[in-house]
Amino acid sequence: MNPHHPYRRLALRAIGIVGLSVAAAQPALAQDFPNQPIRIVVPYGPGGTGDVIARFVAKKLSEDLNQSIVVENKAGAAGSIGAAYVARSPADGYTLLLGYTSEMVINPLVQKGVTYNVASDFTPVALAGSTPLLLVANPAVPARNLAELLALAKAKPGTVTYATAGHGSPAHIAGALLARDADVKLLGVPYKGGSQAVTDTVGGVVDIYFSGMPPAVPFVKSGKLTALGVTATEPSPALPDVPALAAHGFPRLDLASWFGFFVPHGVPADRLAFLHDRILAALQSAEVKQGLAMQGVQTSGMSAAAFAGFVRDEQKKYADLIKELNIAAE
């Protein structure tokens, strides 16, 4: 058709009007969301690292969106119960999972009967942050540094106990890796979550624990726990005097745990983009960024696509470690 034909001009004009209508409709979709409370499911009990992160972010999001943001704790099976709950939730953007290394990477490798598939049941939204594990000991344990702890373990094989936050959890892997690389025997004691593991380490029920930073730092500062090291290549700003284990003879103990926001697969793209942008803005706000840094959590500005790739890399890394350490599924 002649480009100057009147029907051609009318057709192009109509297409332009439709295009403008669609473009005008897109902000309306974003403005309509959220129009009801958003839930952030934490698959562990109150007081753990994930719970701390979720509540910091929820408070800021609630202020920014003028909408209620509810944090729900659904603990059990090292995070798998809460993850499965979110996987079965409506894909409308109103239910998010604050996923942890355990349920999003490790559990499918070490737990029988996991009812969700990370790749097909979830969409990554934003990496919330990462934190090294903090190796802490009950003050009654006669060790004020890692060398003294390992000397004790060599002198009394199999008597030094270490708490885990479940079979195959990062704390379990860190303890098993330390035992292997130091050639000592440690006795693992499984727990359902990190908060109880910290409590029992404080109470002397177990000797040591590779804890997330936020639950343990207050006990270290009050003298109720002894900090022996962090699983990183350099000290954490939250406890700058505590040595980095990966730089002091144990290079493989560079095991930062991470937390990220996920939604059920199928959430519309505009809502995914909205959630990513708002969560990232909350994480980068001064009050959230500084508040989490004081507890040892480093926030991130990673894109959603980069976060998805990061999760895949973590799955490969931990699959190799679990195979090497002979951690069988149970």
Over residues 86-118, the pLDDT tens digits come to: 999 999 999 999 999 989 999 999 988 899 999
Q: What is the pLDDT of residue 78?
A: 81
pTM: 0.79
Summarize pLDDT for 152-184 with one digit per residue, the tens.
999 999 999 999 877 788 899 999 999 999 999
Q: Determine if the peptide bond prior to 243 is cis (ω within 30°).
A: no
Q: What is the pLDDT of residue 118?
A: 96
Q: What is the mean pLDDT of residues 196-214?
A: 94
Contact (CB, 8 A) for 97 and 57: no
Q: What is the pLDDT of residue 160?
A: 97
Pick the range with the lowest mean pLDDT from 24-28, 34-38, 250-254, 312-316.
24-28
C-alpha–C-alpha distance, residues 299 and 24, integer Å: 34
Contact (CB, 8 A) for 296 and 219: no
Percent of the chain clearing pLDDT 90 (strictly above): 72
The beta-strand segments (E) located in the chain are: 38-42, 69-73, 95-100, 122-132, 134-137, 161-164, 187-190, 208-211, 226-230, 256-264, 298-299
Q: What is the pLDDT of residue 156?
A: 94
Burial of 195 (0-12, 13-18, 19+ CB in 10 A): buried
Q: What is the pLDDT of residue 300?
A: 82
For 35-101, the DSSP string reads: SS-EEEEESS-TTSHHHHHHHHHHHHHHHHHTS-EEEEE---GGGHHHHHHHHTS-SSSSEEEEEEH
C-alpha–C-alpha distance, residues 51 and 43, integer Å: 9
Residues with Cβ < 8 Å from 111, sequence gap 6 or more?
A: 77, 78, 80, 167, 168, 329, 330
Q: What is the pLDDT of residue 191?
A: 85
The answer to whether the Cα torsion of 212, 218, 224, 230 is positive or negative is positive
C-alpha–C-alpha distance, residues 234 and 249, integer Å: 13
Q: What is the pLDDT of residue 301?
A: 85
Q: What is the pLDDT of residue 227?
A: 97
Cα dihedral 201, 54, 97, 130 in deg (nearest 10): -70
C-alpha–C-alpha distance, residues 142 and 154, integer Å: 13
Task: Look at residue 208 and give its three-state secondary structure.
Answer: strand
Contact (CB, 8 A) for 144 and 295: no
Is the pLDDT assigned to residue 313 strictly greater than 90? Answer: yes
Q: What's the order of all strands across the beta sheet hosting 122-132?
A: 69-73, 38-42, 95-100, 256-264, 122-132, 298-299
Q: What is the pLDDT of residue 31?
A: 59
Angle at 12 between CA 7 and CA 15, to 5 degrees: 125
> Which one-letter amino acid corresponds to residue 260?
G
Phi, psi of 320, deg, nearest 5: -65, -45
Tokens of 71: 């944090």
